[in-house]
Structure 1
Amino acid sequence: MKNLLIIAAFFLFGAHTVHAADTIPVLPPEAPAVASGQPSWALQITPYMWAAGLDGNISPFRRGPTLAVEKSFSDVMDSLNFGGFLDIWARSDRFIFSGNLMYVSTSENHGTGLLPEITIPGLGSIPAGTSVDAEFDSRQFMATLQGGYRVIDTPQLTLDALAGARFWRISNDVTLTVNLGDGSVNGSYGEKFGWVDPVAGLRVFVPITEKLSLQAQGDIGGFGAGSDLTWSALATLNYVVTDHFSVSAGYKVLNVDYERSGHVFDTRLSGPVLGVTYRF
């Protein structure tokens, strides 16, 4: 079952704790607009796989201990229940729409650490320095929506300028074992949090032959509105299989630094990507 899910997509999580995400889509080759006096329409849908490793610092619950995470792709897969990634891209004449969706469900994630003075629902007030053992299930949803304009449109090169927002929603169900001086107590705790980051970026496409092309895309955002900073970058080599299908392979990096209201989510995902595109 997990092998089948890998084909559909992939994300993160490992033995310590985690989540992060994002979001530059895998996009296949597409021809520049033709100056015909009529609007040129294009629509592409791309499910893709991202074989990413993870490193960073994350708190499994609000005001919980901040845990260092460093996981390879195989480590991340051990706790994956389901991961789905989808990119949607559309163009009308020189106007661009880009959408990227991600949903990930993981379980049996585990972390230990020392707590600050904290009150945990179901367990009450916990003194500072208390050792805690946490196991949790996590569900993560991310959507990046951008609109833009084709600044350069020639047979040799296209360049798109994009701006929009990246939406995050994290849900954690945590089971805690708190080690007190005279024994331990157990409790369960669920929480949800999310934020929105403004983002802006560029996308460049360069045809090499009739079927082969290169593409690069990057964005930057956050600026304290949601996260302190987020950025992503993607480079792919694309090959046209038929008039409607193409494949893309490359490398992607997604970085986010969020620390607010007792939550810490400072991570970087990086690794190879592989996408299959249907073009309407």
Structure 2
Amino acid sequence: MAITKRLRDTALQLAFVAALPTSVYAQQSDWSYQATIYLFTPETDVSQETPNGTVEGTLAFSDALENLDLAFMGTFAATNGRWSILADYNYTDLSFSNDTPGQASSGVETSLTTQFLSGYLGYRVLTTDTSTVDLAGGFRWFRTQTDFTVLPGAAPGRMVNVDESWTDPVIGVRARMRFNERWSGTGFFDYGGFASDSETWQVLLTADYAINDRWLLRGGYRYISFDHEINGGDFKFDQSGPLFGATYRF
């Protein structure tokens, strides 16, 4: 009996020791994650200032899908208590053409491949029964390969090429409000650059519907803007329009 009791006590001690690291790890790694893929069909405006004048191209929302060669937009978020990490990546491959005023040119053809990646570290500053507010700071990296072909008219045709990348610091605020068990809303605003030759900002608003604990459907609107000096000329890129997405939480 003494041997049996000793073996039982030893087994209980080993079980406790084995479970202890798991319990500590669970307390120290209380992270939650969510990944979202969006369909974003924006209106796009891009322009480059040159010594011969500004060249610009515009793709209307109604033509976005027809002229879209490839697009991807996705976000990933991780949250632990008041702290959060957020990454947002966008890739767009577009080609389109526009008429030009006057007789100097018969039009302009635009082809662009653009990527941007935003990364943030957030801290929750307000929590209520139905809402939260986070402040965030981070960066936005932008990369573009844009070709403008100015078609000949009264003046000869010409090519304008933009191949550049840069990174801006950004600060932002994110607010989330819960309306009921299924519906909630999210708003996000950021601003960056903080220099005379570089500026970026965005607004993102979504209405969110929870299918269950794991899946969330989103619909909303996004406007994002870049303004950066390249080779002494002002380069501008703006996208705005509706988006639809699905989020998986784990």
TM over 0.5: yes
Shift of 1:100: 0.6
- The match for 1:211 is 182
- The match for 2:146 is 172
Distance 1:53 1:191 in 2: 20
Shift of 1:265: 2.6
What whole-Å deviation, never above 9, does each CA across 1:58-114 have from its counterpart, x for those lacking one? 02x865641354542123333321011111111122211111111111235467699
Give the secondary structure class of the aligned counterpart of 2:62.
helix
1:199 aligns with 2:170: yes
CA contact (8 A) 2:168 2:193 kept: yes
Q: Give the TM-score of the pair, scaled to structure 2.
A: 0.75
Give the total of aligned pairs. 224
Contiguous gaps of at least 5 residues in structure 1? 1-35, 115-129
Call closer, same or farther: CA 1:93–1:47 in 2, change over 3 Å. Answer: same
Distance 2:64 2:191 in 1: 26
- The match for 2:220 is 250
- The match for 1:12 is none
Letter in 2 for 1:150: R
What whole-Å deviation, never above 9, does each CA across 1:7-32 have from its counterpart, x for those lacking one? xxxxxxxxxxxxxxxxxxxxxxxxxx
1:259 aligns with 2:229: yes
Letter in 2 for 1:204: A
Aligned-residue sequence identity (percent) comes to 28
Shift of 1:160: 0.9
Structure 2 residue aligned with 1:275, among 222, 230, 245? 245
Structure 1 residue aligned with 2:42, among 52, 62, 76? 52
Higher RCO (CA-CA < 8 Å; seq separation 6+): 1
Call closer, same or farther: CA 1:237–1:254 in 2, change over 3 Å. Answer: same
CA contact (8 A) 1:142 1:166 kept: yes
Give the secondary structure class of the aligned counterpart of 2:195.
coil
- The match for 2:61 is 73
What whole-Å deviation, never above 9, does each CA across 1:9-56 have from its counterpart, x for those lacking one? xxxxxxxxxxxxxxxxxxxxxxxxxxx96553111110102232244x
Call closer, same or farther: CA 1:108–1:73 in 2, change over 3 Å. Answer: closer
Distance 1:185 1:70 in 2: 19
Call closer, same or farther: CA 1:58–1:174 in 2, change over 3 Å. Answer: closer
Call closer, same or farther: CA 1:209–1:134 in 2, change over 3 Å. Answer: closer
Letter in 2 for 1:95: W
The structure whose residues are more often strand, as a share, is 2
CA contact (8 A) 1:161 1:201 kept: yes
Tell which structure's C-alpha radius of gyration is larger.
2
Structure 2 residue aligned with 1:137, among 104, 108, 111? 111
Q: Give the TM-score of the pair, scaled to structure 1.
A: 0.68
- The match for 2:129 is 155
Distance 1:90 1:189 in 2: 41
Call closer, same or farther: CA 1:212–1:174 in 2, change over 3 Å. Answer: closer
Q: Please give the root-mean-square deviation of Cα atoms over the aligned residues, in Å.
A: 3.1
